Amino acid sequence: MGSYDGVQKHEGSRVKVYKVSSVDSISLSSNEVHAMFEDHQGFIWAGTMAGLDRIDPRTDVVRHYNLKSRYVTEESLGYITSVFQDKRDSIWVVTDGGLFRIHPETGGYQQIEEKNTTGMGVFNSQTGYKGSYATDEGIWMYTIGGMEFYDYVSGKFYNRYYNPEKKKIFSLVAGSKVGANGEMCTDKKGNLYFIARDSVLIKYNTKTERLDSFPFSRPPLSWLCCYALACDYKANIWIGFRNGGALVFDGATATFAPIRFEGINSLIGSNYIYSFAEDYLHRMWVTTNNGVYAIDRYATGVKEIYLSERKDFTNLQYYTDLLTEGANGNLYMPFLQGGLIVFNQQTGKTSHYPVGNYARAYFLVYPDYKGKSWIAIKNTLHAFTFAGTDLKIDTTKVFLDTTQPFIPRATGTRVC
């Protein structure tokens, strides 16, 4: 992960940090990192505020590439937006000084001409952080000026200003604001996804040239730029906004579902989203200005059920255990100063049993194999049975010889 404090490598049990140090061969050129990319050989490329670095994760050796632009006067480029690789192993770098193609081993590079309308250069090279897709035929780049395509065979760039076949894909406008371009992502069927005209998700198949559009309502307060885009393993599209949270596009139903920070139980801790990345367990990692969050949206082993919408059921303090009573499928949930909730997994019905005349709440419930259940009240155990909407509690006590019983605690209003 690139950050304002170096490159953070999550190794499972620890986080290793690459930063600026006095030893150049193992030092980054700057601690402020914006672009991150892993090439075909497994090297990690980091675009920093002071230059381009390549990290060898096996040896930790860092190699620096010094790029100079004919469009800027500074000694080094001040902002690297994106790094990607084509099918012929050249590394391409998008900077605030233009677009570069680099030979990774020799360090030699070529700067691509800007404002070109003849096909011998790009009209605009400014992309999002992940605004490119390499195919066997060439490279697609989504820029501020719209879509660009570089053809390997002809060596030409096709765009809205050089479009001899008048293809629709090159006529789409990125956004209404300068810098409103976003990222681009792809699925396994060769479809490109990107945002056009600020609030339309575009799906374009590079093989059939079919183009589909899906309008959506922008989240309130969201910026008109800096979209984060990712395609998950179910070919659903995640759209992240600065100050707007996320929208997840379901390709099967063509609907958008929001993911927003609303409070302590939200899936993310901020609506200011930087980027997405799916891991091998199909969790989507979301980086925000308030930390990194992993969302397991399709977990089949977890089911969420709201027990009640009643106001007096919110913020209840539950005790463990949640135990099933034999074949009846009941789950018992005792809670502080509130009584007992019984949820039946087969019918989905929820029943509430008040504490009654007892001064304290129920603590733990234990189903007995003989059909009788036991409930802990204070420091005593009572056998009980269900009688309609009431609990019939045996007044015979079983005293627990302890003055400070261990009572596990948990909070929340949902059962997972």
The Cα diameter of the chain in Å comes to 94
Please determine, for residue 90, whether its predicted confidence score (pLDDT) is greater than 70: yes
Q: How many Cα atoms within 13 Å fall on the side-chain side of residue 327? A: 2
- In this prediction, what percent of the chain has a pLDDT beyond 70? 78
pLDDT in tens, 381-401: 778 777 777 777 777 766 555
pLDDT in tens, 256-293: 999 999 887 789 999 999 999 999 889 999 999 998 99
pLDDT in tens, 331-352: 777 765 556 778 887 787 888 7
pLDDT of residue 416: 38
pLDDT in tens, 128-174: 888 899 999 999 999 988 899 999 999 999 999 999 999 999 998 87
Regarding predicted confidence, which is higher, 254 or 16?
254
pLDDT in tens, 208-267: 999 999 999 999 899 887 689 999 999 999 999 999 999 999 999 999 999 999 887 789
Regarding predicted confidence, which is higher, 261 or 21?
261
**Average pLDDT of the chain, as a whole number:** 82
Owner of token pair 């009846």: 328
**Cis amide leading into 321 (omega within 30):** yes
Contact status, residue 269 vs residue 263, Cβ threshold 8 Å: no
Contact status, residue 292 vs residue 269, Cβ threshold 8 Å: no
The token pair that represents 57 in the structure block: 């994760």
Please determine, for residue 328, whether its predicted confidence score (pLDDT) is greater than 80: no
Regarding predicted confidence, which is higher, 238 or 50?
238
